[in-house]
């Protein structure tokens, strides 16, 4: 194989409060397909952003062909033959494919010679098996076609190293298959392909080598013939099961939430939930593990009344509440801590008081037919802030000025104050530091003791094992597996998360 | 390749800048136009003095400034309601005309009604018609998410041409030698004025509205919902708010207020319906609403400022300065204020090249 | 919270403005050469429009060239809505003794202001309301239009003449009719196609209307608009045109054969002189070819001698005053005789004309 084309040595990347990459080494050879495997937050994307010139590493160096290079911008990376396809395509929708691809070209001439380029592009694409119509307008293309245009653009700029950030997340199985074939062609043509993924089956189907990351560190580098599922899972999630919080057991209560074979579409109009069923009881935390994008958001939104189901029923304490409005669900005692704190749960620009009454301003205590009862609202806000010990200079302050931990605490405080019968919590500690995480967990456990049924959706296995009474895995819009937490096995959960459960076939196109 | 200057977002918008920016912007605009005046051989101070003296230097000038500000104020208040919810209703001009049009119907059809029936009737018609004119854009926006900027803008033309049709056609004053004017309204259909000035009780409408909106924005459930929906529709849906209904109400109210502006102008100033009733009030009001940051009190003041600029703007012509100078000052103020906004939210950092290269996430 | 600052600031600003204004007004009182008679003109468009307002301003310049002891002030681009009344008032307050308001929409404002200032003379152009100190004036431009119609009638080969018209008001309708009568007096088969633009002043729209007419087969474009847009459209297509307001041949030399033009200057001199001498009386003036208040501009090189002769004959008849354009028989579009043979249409009927004569293709919105 000779010397590596790219050598990343001791890469460290720190963000305020987080070490995203902790002395990572990575070698990339031309002609190989290299998978970068890890859970969300393991540092894969950060590492690739460093390589693509988007981030400057805190420490460490990058060698190209043995020569040290410093990238100040993506342009520098491209100049060294490294290009990245992001999850969100950077294409100009109203322009044609040819215009998008040749945009970066700089010729002496003021006039674009589009006709010439179009012909060239067809030939160029054919070399890699990437068929595109150069005169098509980008907005008319399917997601898969857009991705192809992105890849072609990077190749056209002369890149030898192609980085793809979770390229299959947006694709249909057929498109995935096509993509994989194209990637193999590229590797055969002498390019290096790095693809970021958290899907084991993709690694198995495609990778020549795989580097596994966990918590910002490399946990292993496997050759093609060493790749096997169990080993990958151990490297990816492998950890000691963390001890549970000290907590009292609550005896089995009545069923609060019962979801029966529910289907729902995601934002792109594709199936998000596929006949999902689950049950949550009084005083119980059901923890749903799973890799992001397997129906987490859709499930939470269906329960909160924000997303319509296309099939199946949702029952709350025996009552059929399928497709009721969000307001009806709030009135029936459903609390919801959404994954997107700043975009949905809180309104960053509004002050703390406004945010604290978001869910209860319609209650007669806080408003009449027309006017708000500002005194009651003030009292309530003051009380919540004191009770949950959030330090703030003033209630008039926009909530965006608070730390993430304080924001989440106030959000939880608000939801808890409504005395919910059911609480849906999605990724509750994402982005929080240790102290804040603990505070949020404590609040959830207290709520459980008050016999609220809690559905905890998380990608953090530690968190689930610490808090949940029962554990399930959300995979492709279904709940697979249902364990009492005492009986649950981390590796088995990990396998389920990776979509290798029995009954779910490995559907990535075979090699 | 890199200019060693970069903008850094402030965590808290700078309060000092918040005062300084508009102030400096207005001064810069005056200086900027002053330079232009000086280049064309006029004394800028003299021109500005004439401008402000004309608008503020006499009781008459002052009263006319208020007269000019009334329709601006009303339209801007209407616009601000919609803008607060990030609904870009730029159809105030059309709503103004339709309000005037509907209000005109009453005195033309029932010229002998007494004032205490006539005026309230005209007010109601103006409000209803303005609301109706906003209804279709509101419906399309709420139900099918059709961009309200386009629809409201298009409805301006439809509204103006509809009025033209009626004044050129069916509503033409039979005694008017076929000129495009309706007959003059009966006295009962003319809004009362204050003293000998042309200030009509439209100013009272505006001030009452300011009060109502201040209270509504701050203390009402409705105001709270507007605030939330305007900032984040997702959060509003999450909180169980009925977004579609709010879009309706807000657009209708916004249109109704502009319709009232049209009623006030046709009844308080023109005394008959005619083409060109509004020299673009509905558009100027967008600028005013924007400069006022949608605050009702600020709208009153900014409208008066624009009244000054427009009233004074014509007078500078007696100095041989083209009318366009007043428009230029207006444009320059807007330009500098909007451009200056960046200093409220960002601070300028002079960075070395090395620093400029570090990521910014 | 943030708005409180803004409010404070604006208060401050307005206060500053007040102070500034205060200074200004005291400064204003400095003694000037007040002995001159101050005359003001209010224009609806910009002076540079090469059209209506420009023609009036030519008249004003003629006035000061003839009467150097008169000081004139102009205010241009004054909308016909609420602004007009204030502008007129302020001109009076500045000491102007004669005020010419030169657009129809200034009628009510002029009357309103005149009530308050009985010692100031107001002259309103193109309206019909008078008062003791308000006179109206206008010119029989339709006579010029008739003459230019003869030029167009002789020139058209397709027998279709286009006419870009502003608003369907009697003044414009009268012009179209007179023009058509002129066209058909020399070319009975020709038709005049009318397009309404609903604007007095919109260069792009007017030009577009001209193009549309050319596309519809017209080879001569006449206009009742304040910009030379339609003439430029004709020139670009290599066709001919008839201008209006002022001599438009400068803007489109290859197209413009002649223009129906205003000549306000002598009349302005007459009025100002009368006011100075104290002989001015309110009245309704509607002058014609015999007063030279209307005329046609010099011919372009493309106009033949025989055409000129025909025009001269008609012009002489008009100047003598025995015959006028709307002398019978005049038929309307349906072929009905409206003015009987040998009869002359009354001024009153002309002033409210809202029907088209035979030969006009187009409708008047009603």
pLDDT digits (tens, 9 = 90+) for A440-452: 898 999 999 889 9
pLDDT in tens, A397-443: 888 888 888 889 899 999 999 999 999 999 888 777 667 788 889 89
pLDDT at B344 over 80: no
Give the residue-averaged pLDDT of B303-308.
90
Q: Give the pLDDT confidence score for residue A401 in this predicted structure.
A: 81
Output the domain CATH number for residue A328. Answer: 3.40.50.300
Pairwise CA distance, residues B55 & B68, whole Å: 10
Tokens of A351: 């002050």
Tell me if chain C has a CB within 8 Å of the CB of B46: yes
Same domain, A232 and A248: no
- Asked if residues C210 and C162 have their Cβ atoms less than 8 Å apart, the reply is yes
What DSSP string describes B70-101? Answer: HHHHHHHHHHHHHHHTT-----HHHHHHHHHH
Give the residue-averaged pLDDT of A95-116.
69
pLDDT in tens, A212-257: 998 889 999 999 898 888 788 888 876 554 555 666 666 678 999 9
Quote the minimal CA–CA distance from B297 to chain C in Å: 7
Is there a domain that residue A431 lies in?
no
Q: Give the pLDDT confidence score for residue B5 in this predicted structure.
A: 63
DSSP reduced 3-state for A278: strand
Chain A touching partners, 3 or more CB pairs below 8 A? B
Nearest to A347 among B223, B228, B358 (CB): B228
Using a CB-CB cut-off of 8 Å, the residues of chain A touching B357 are: 56, 72-73
Go through the domains of chain C in sequence order and give each one's CATH number.
37-139 (3.40.50.2300), 142-260+296-361 (3.40.50.2300)
Q: Give the pLDDT confidence score for residue A502 in this predicted structure.
A: 42
Burial class (CB in 10 A: 0-12, 13-18, 19+), A483: middle
Tell me if chain B has a CB within 8 Å of the CB of A345: yes
- Band the pLDDT of C25: cuts 50, 70, 90: very low
Q: Among residues 6-45 of chain B, which lie with CB inside 8 Å of chain A? A: 11-12
Helix (H) / strand (E) element for C123: namely strand C121-125
- How many domains does chain A contain in total? 3
Subunit contact A370:B221, Cβ cutoff 8 A: yes
Same domain, A111 and A191: yes
Using a CB-CB cut-off of 8 Å, the residues of chain B touching C74 are: 317
- Band the pLDDT of B209: cuts 50, 70, 90: very high
Q: Give the pLDDT confidence score for residue A251 in this predicted structure.
A: 61
- Asked if residues C153 and C184 have their Cβ atoms less than 8 Å apart, the reply is yes
For residue A368, count other CB atoms closer than 10 A to its CB.
Answer: 10
Subunit contact A344:B227, Cβ cutoff 8 A: no
- Band the pLDDT of B311: cuts 50, 70, 90: confident
> Sheet harboring C360-361: ordered strands across?
C294-296, C256-262, C240-245, C220-224, C160-165, C191-196, C360-361
The residue in chain B having the minimum alpha-carbon distance to the alpha carbon of residue A303 is: B238
Nearest to B314 among C14, C83, C365 (CB): C83
Chain centre distance of CA A496: 17
pLDDT at B2 over 50: no
Q: Tell which residue, C66, C112, C74, C108, has the closest CA to residue C271.
A: C66
For residue B10, count other CB atoms closer than 10 A to its CB.
Answer: 13
Residues making up chain B, counted from first to last? 361
Give the residue-averaged pLDDT of B93-117.
95
Between A493 and C136, residue with greater pLDDT: C136
Tokens of A2: 């000779």
Using a CB-CB cut-off of 8 Å, the residues of chain A touching B232 are: 343-344, 347
Q: What is the mean pLDDT of chain A?
A: 85
Quote the minimal CA–CA distance from C190 to chain B in Å: 28
Subunit contact C94:B302, Cβ cutoff 8 A: no
Pairwise CA distance, residues A402 & A380, whole Å: 19
Q: For residue B68, give Cα distances in angstroms to B207, B285, C125.
A: 15, 12, 25
Using a CB-CB cut-off of 8 Å, the residues of chain B touching A340 are: 234
Least confident range from A168-172, C212-216, C308-312: namely: A168-172
Same domain, A66 and A194: yes
Query: At a CB cut-off of 8 Å and minimum separation 6, what does B154 contact?
Result: none
Query: At a CB cut-off of 8 Å and minimum separation 6, what does B311 contact?
Result: B54, B55, B61, B64, B65, B68, C86
Is there a domain that residue A429 lies in?
no
pLDDT at A35 over 90: yes
Is there a domain that residue A497 lies in?
yes
- Asked if residues B241 and B228 have their Cβ atoms less than 8 Å apart, the reply is yes
Q: Give the pLDDT confidence score for residue C7 in this predicted structure.
A: 47
Same domain, A87 and A182: yes
Chain centre distance of CA A235: 20
Go through the domains of chain B in sequence order and give each one's CATH number.
43-320 (1.10.3470)
Nearest to C24 among B49, B269, B275 (CB): B49
Is there a domain that residue A215 lies in?
yes
What does DSSP assign to residue B191? P
Same domain, A114 and A215: yes
Pairwise CA distance, residues B98 & C180, whole Å: 37
Chain C touching partners, 3 or more CB pairs below 8 A? B
Nearest to A326 among B220, B231, B240 (CB): B240
Give the residue-averaged pLDDT of B42-57.
83
Q: Among residues 189-248 of chain B, which lie with CB inside 8 Å of chain A? A: 219-224, 227-228, 231-232, 234-235, 237-242
Give the residue-averaged pLDDT of A75-80.
88
Quote the minimal CA–CA distance from A442 to chain B in Å: 25
pLDDT in tens, C237-287: 999 999 999 999 988 999 999 999 999 999 999 999 999 999 999 999 999
pLDDT in tens, A162-204: 999 888 877 777 788 888 999 999 999 899 999 998 777 788 8
Is there a domain that residue A451 lies in?
no
How many CB pairs below 8 Å do chains A and B form together? 77
DSSP reduced 3-state for B349: strand
Same domain, A192 and A54: yes
pLDDT at B355 over 50: no
What does DSSP assign to residue A499? T
- Provide the ipTM: 0.82
pLDDT at C329 over 50: yes
Give the residue-averaged pLDDT of A4-27.
88
Q: Give the pLDDT confidence score for residue C36 in this predicted structure.
A: 84
Subunit contact C79:B67, Cβ cutoff 8 A: no
Nearest to A401 among B11, B232, B239 (CB): B11
Residue indicated by tokens 């232009």: B36
Q: For residue A180, give Cα distances in angstroms to A132, A174, A207, A310.
A: 17, 10, 10, 32
Q: Tell which residue, C194, C192, C124, has the closest CA to residue C166.
A: C194
What DSSP string describes C15-66? Answer: HHHHHHHHHHHHHHTS---TTSEEEEEE-SS-GGGSSHHHHHHHHHHHHHHH
What DSSP string describes A112-123? Answer: --HHHHHHHHHH
What does DSSP assign to residue C68? T
Burial class (CB in 10 A: 0-12, 13-18, 19+), C352: middle
Q: Tell which residue, B310, B306, B302, B281, has the closest CA to residue B51.
A: B310
Residue indicated by tokens 């400022």: B305
- Within 13 Å, how many C-alpha atoms sit on residue C215's CB side? 7
Nearest to A54 among B11, B242, B359 (CB): B359
- Asked if residues B37 and B321 have their Cβ atoms less than 8 Å apart, the reply is yes
Long-range contacts of C19-26 (CB under 8 A, 24+ apart): C20/B48, C20/B49, C20/B52, C21/B49, C21/B52, C21/B53, C21/B55, C21/B56, C21/B57, C22/B53, C22/B56, C22/B57, C23/B49, C24/B48, C24/B49, C24/B50, C24/B51, C24/B52, C24/B53, C24/B57, C25/B49, C25/B53, C25/B57, C25/B58
> Sheet harboring A319-320: ordered strands across?
A271-281, A255-265, A311-316, A319-320
Tell me if chain B has a CB within 8 Å of the CB of A17: no
Interface test with B, best of A305, A347, A351 (most B CBs within 10 A): A347
Query: At a CB cut-off of 8 Å and minimum separation 6, what does A64 contact?
Result: A5, A6, A80, A81, A82
Same domain, A91 and A28: yes
Interface test with C, best of B19, B22, B52, B218 (most C CBs within 10 A): B52
DSSP reduced 3-state for A28: strand
Same domain, A316 and A404: no
Q: Among residues 297-326 of chain B, which lie with CB inside 8 Å of chain C? A: 297-298, 301-302, 304-305, 308, 310-311, 314-315, 317-318, 322-324
Is there a domain that residue A425 lies in?
no
Same domain, A153 and A57: yes
Pairwise CA distance, residues C235 & A394, whole Å: 72
Subunit contact A345:B235, Cβ cutoff 8 A: yes
Using a CB-CB cut-off of 8 Å, the residues of chain B touching A358 are: 228, 235, 238-239
Q: Give the pLDDT confidence score for residue A400 in this predicted structure.
A: 84
Nearest to B238 among A56, A338, A357 (CB): A338
Subunit contact B12:A401, Cβ cutoff 8 A: yes
Is there a domain that residue A465 lies in?
yes
- Band the pLDDT of B19: cuts 50, 70, 90: confident
pLDDT in tens, A296-311: 999 999 999 999 999 9
Pairwise CA distance, residues C22 & B49, whole Å: 8
Tell me if chain B has a CB within 8 Å of the CB of A56: yes
pLDDT in tens, A463-489: 888 899 999 999 889 999 888 888 888
Give the residue-averaged pLDDT of C11-19.
46
Pairwise CA distance, residues C245 & C263, whole Å: 9
Tell me which residue range forms the domain holding A27: 6-237
For residue B126, count other CB atoms closer than 10 A to its CB.
Answer: 33
Q: Give the pLDDT confidence score for residue B108 in this predicted structure.
A: 94
Helix (H) / strand (E) element for A374: namely helix A374-387
Using a CB-CB cut-off of 8 Å, the residues of chain B touching C17 are: 52, 56, 305, 308
Q: Which of A214, A237, A260 is the endpoint of a domain? A: A237
Q: Give the pLDDT confidence score for residue C10 in this predicted structure.
A: 47
Quote the minimal CA–CA distance from B271 to chain A in Å: 37
Q: Which of A237, A257, A291 is the endpoint of a domain? A: A237
Q: Which of A181, A213, A237 is the endpoint of a domain? A: A237
Q: What is the radius of gyration, based on Cα positions, of chain A?
A: 25
Pairwise CA distance, residues A84 & C70, whole Å: 78
Burial class (CB in 10 A: 0-12, 13-18, 19+), A122: middle
pLDDT in tens, C90-99: 899 889 999 9
Chain centre distance of CA A450: 31
What does DSSP assign to residue A273? E
Using a CB-CB cut-off of 8 Å, the residues of chain B touching C22 are: 53, 56-57
Tell me if chain C has a CB within 8 Å of the CB of B164: yes
* pLDDT over 90, % of chain A: 37
Tell me if chain B has a CB within 8 Å of the CB of C29: no
Give the residue-averaged pLDDT of A484-509.
67
- Asked if residues B303 and B73 have their Cβ atoms less than 8 Å apart, the reply is yes
DSSP reduced 3-state for B21: helix
Same domain, A209 and A80: yes
Same domain, A371 and A504: no
Q: Quote the strand ranges of chain B, DSSP E.
A: 5-9, 346-350
Is there a domain that residue A454 lies in?
no
* pLDDT over 70, % of chain A: 91
Q: Quote the strand ranges of A2-122, DSSP E.
A: 6-15, 18-28, 33-37, 59-64, 67-69, 82-85
Between B177 and B75, residue with greater pLDDT: B75
Same domain, A379 and A287: no
């Amino acid at each position: 194989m000779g010397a590596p084309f790219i050598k990343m040595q001791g890469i460290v990347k720190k963000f305020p409060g987080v070490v995203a990459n902790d002395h990572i080494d990575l070698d990339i050879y031309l002609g190989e397909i290299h998978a970068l495997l890890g859970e969300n937050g393991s540092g894969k994307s950060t590492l690739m952003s460093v390589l693509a010139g988007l981030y400057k590493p805190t420490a460490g160096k990058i060698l190209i062909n043995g020569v040290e290079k410093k990238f100040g911008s993506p342009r520098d990376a491209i100049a060294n033959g490294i290009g990245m396809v992001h999850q969100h395509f950077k294409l100009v929708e109203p322009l044609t494919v040819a215009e998008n691809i040749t945009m970066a070209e700089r010729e002496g001439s003021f006039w674009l010679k589009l006709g010439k380029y179009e012909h060239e592009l067809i030939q160029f694409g054919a070399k890699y098996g990437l068929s595109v119509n150069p005169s098509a307008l980008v907005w008319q293309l399917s997601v898969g076609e857009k991705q192809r245009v992105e890849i072609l653009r990077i190749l056209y700029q002369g890149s030898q190293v192609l980085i793809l950030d979770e390229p299959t997340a947006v694709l249909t199985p057929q498109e995935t298959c096509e993509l994989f074939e194209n990637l193999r062609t590229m590797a055969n043509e002498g390019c290096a392909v790095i693809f970021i993924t958290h899907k084991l089956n993709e690694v198995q189907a495609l990778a020549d080598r795989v580097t596994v990351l966990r918590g910002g560190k490399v946990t292993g580098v496997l050759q093609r013939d060493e790749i096997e599922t169990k080993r990958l899972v151990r490297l990816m999630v492998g950890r000691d099961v963390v001890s549970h919080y000290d907590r009292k057991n609550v005896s089995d209560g009545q069923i609060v939430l019962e979801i029966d074979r529910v289907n729902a579409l995601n934002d792109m109009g594709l199936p998000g939930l596929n006949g999902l069923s689950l049950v949550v009881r009084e005083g119980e935390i059901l923890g749903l593990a799973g890799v992001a994008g397997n129906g987490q958001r859709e499930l939470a939104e269906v329960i909160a009344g924000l997303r319509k189901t296309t099939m199946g029923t949702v029952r709350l304490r025996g009552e059929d509440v399928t497709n009721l409005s969000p307001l009806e669900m709030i009135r029936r005692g459903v609390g919801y801590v959404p994954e997107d704190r700043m975009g949905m749960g809180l309104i960053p620009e509004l002050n703390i008081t406004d945010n604290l009454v978001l869910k209860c301003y319609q209650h007669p205590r806080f408003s009449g037919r027309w006017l708000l009862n500002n005194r009651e609202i003030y009292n309530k806000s003051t009380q919540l802030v004191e009770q949950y010990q959030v330090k703030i200079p003033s209630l008039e302050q926009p909530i965006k000025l608070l730390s993430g931990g304080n924001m989440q605490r106030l959000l939880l405080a608000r939801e808890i104050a409504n005395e919910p019968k059911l609480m849906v919590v999605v990724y509750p500690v994402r982005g929080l530091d240790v102290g804040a995480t603990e505070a949020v967990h404590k609040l959830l456990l207290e709520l459980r003791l008050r016999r609220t049924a809690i559905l905890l959706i998380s990608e953090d296995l530690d968190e689930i094992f610490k808090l949940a009474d029962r554990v399930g895995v959300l995979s492709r819009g279904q709940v697979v597996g249902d364990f009492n937490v005492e009986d649950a096995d981390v590796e088995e959960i990990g396998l389920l998360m990776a979509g290798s459960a029995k009954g779910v076939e490995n559907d990535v196109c075979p090699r | 390749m890199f200019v060693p200057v970069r903008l850094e977002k402030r965590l808290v918008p700078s309060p000092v800048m918040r005062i300084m920016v508009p102030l400096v912007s207005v001064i810069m605009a005056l200086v900027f136009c002053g330079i232009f005046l000086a280049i064309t051989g006029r004394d800028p101070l003299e021109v500005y003095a004439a401008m402000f003296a004309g608008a503020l230097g006499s009781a008459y000038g002052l009263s006319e400034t208020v007269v000019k500000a009334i329709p601006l104020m009303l339209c801007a208040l209407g616009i601000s309601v919609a803008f607060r919810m990030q609904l870009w209703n730029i159809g105030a001009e059309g709503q103004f005309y339709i309000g005037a049009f509907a209000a005109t119907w009453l005195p033309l059809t029932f010229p002998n009604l007494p004032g205490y029936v006539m005026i309230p009737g005209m007010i109601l018609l103006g409000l209803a018609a303005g609301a109706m004119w906003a209804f279709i854009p509101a419906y399309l926006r709420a139900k099918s998410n059709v961009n309200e900027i386009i629809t409201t803008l298009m409805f301006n033309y439809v509204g103006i041409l509809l009025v033209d049709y009626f004044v050129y056609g069916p509503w033409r004053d039979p005694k008017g030698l076929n000129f495009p004017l309706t007959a003059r309204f009966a006295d009962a259909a003319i809004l009362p004025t204050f003293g000998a000035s042309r200030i009509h009780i439209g100013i009272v409408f505006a001030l009452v509205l300011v009060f109502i909106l201040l209270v509504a924005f701050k203390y009402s459930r409705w105001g709270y919902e507007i605030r939330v929906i305007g900032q984040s529709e997702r959060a509003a849906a999450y909180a169980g708010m009925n977004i579609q209904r709010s879009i309706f109400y807000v657009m209708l109210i916004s249109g109704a207020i502009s319709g009232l502006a049209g009623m006030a102008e046709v009844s308080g100033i023109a005394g008959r319906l005619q083409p060109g009733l509004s020299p673009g009030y509905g558009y100027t009001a967008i600028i005013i609403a924007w400069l006022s940051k949608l605050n009702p009190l600020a709208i009153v003041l900014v409208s008066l400022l624009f009244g000054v600029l427009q009233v004074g703007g014509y007078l500078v012509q007696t100095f041989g300065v083209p009318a366009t100078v007043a428009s230029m000052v207006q444009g320059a103020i807007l330009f500098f204020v909007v451009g200056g906004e960046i200093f409220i939210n960002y601070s300028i950092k002079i960075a070395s090249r090395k620093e400029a290269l570090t990521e910014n996430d | 919270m943030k708005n409180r600052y803004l409010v404070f600031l604006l208060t401050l600003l307005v206060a500053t403005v007040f102070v500034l204004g205060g200074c200004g007004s005291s400064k204003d009182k400095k003694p000037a050469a007040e002995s001159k008679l101050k005359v003001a003109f209010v224009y609806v468009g910009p002076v540079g429009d090469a059209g209506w307002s420009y023609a009036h301003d030519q008249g004003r310049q003629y006035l000061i060239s003839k009467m150097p002891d008169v000081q004139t002030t102009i205010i241009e681009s004054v909308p016909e809505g609420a602004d007009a009344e204030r502008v007129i008032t302020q001109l009076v307050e500045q000491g102007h003794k004669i005020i010419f308001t030169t657009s129809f929409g200034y009628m009510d404002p002029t009357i309103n202001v005149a009530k308050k200032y009985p010692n100031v003379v107001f002259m309103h152009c193109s309206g019909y309301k008078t008062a003791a100190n308000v006179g109206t004036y206008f010119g029989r431009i339709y006579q010029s239009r008739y003459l230019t119609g003869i030029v167009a009638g002789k020139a058209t080969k397709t027998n279709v003449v286009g006419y870009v018209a502003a608003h369907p008001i009697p003044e414009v309708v009268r012009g179209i009719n007179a023009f058509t009568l002129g066209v058909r007096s020399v070319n009975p088969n020709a038709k005049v196609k009318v397009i309404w633009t609903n604007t007095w002043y919109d260069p792009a729209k007017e030009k577009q209307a001209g193009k549309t007419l050319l596309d519809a087969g017209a080879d001569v474009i006449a206009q009742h608009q304040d910009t030379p847009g339609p003439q430029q459209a004709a020139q670009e297509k290599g066709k001919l045109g008839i201008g209006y307001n002022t001599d438009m041949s400068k803007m489109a030399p290859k197209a413009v054969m002649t223009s129906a033009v205003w000549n306000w200057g002598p009349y302005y001199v007459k009025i100002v002189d009368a006011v100075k001498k104290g002989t001015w009386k309110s009245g309704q003036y509607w002058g014609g070819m015999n007063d030279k208040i209307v005329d046609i501009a010099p011919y372009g090189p493309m106009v033949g001698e025989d055409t000129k002769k025909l025009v001269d004959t008609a012009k002489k008849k008009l100047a003598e005053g025995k015959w006028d354009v709307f002398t019978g028989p005049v038929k309307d579009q349906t072929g009905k005789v409206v003015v009987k043979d040998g009869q002359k249409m009354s001024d009153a009927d002309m002033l409210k004309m809202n029907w088209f004569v035979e030969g006009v293709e187009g409708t008047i919105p009603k």
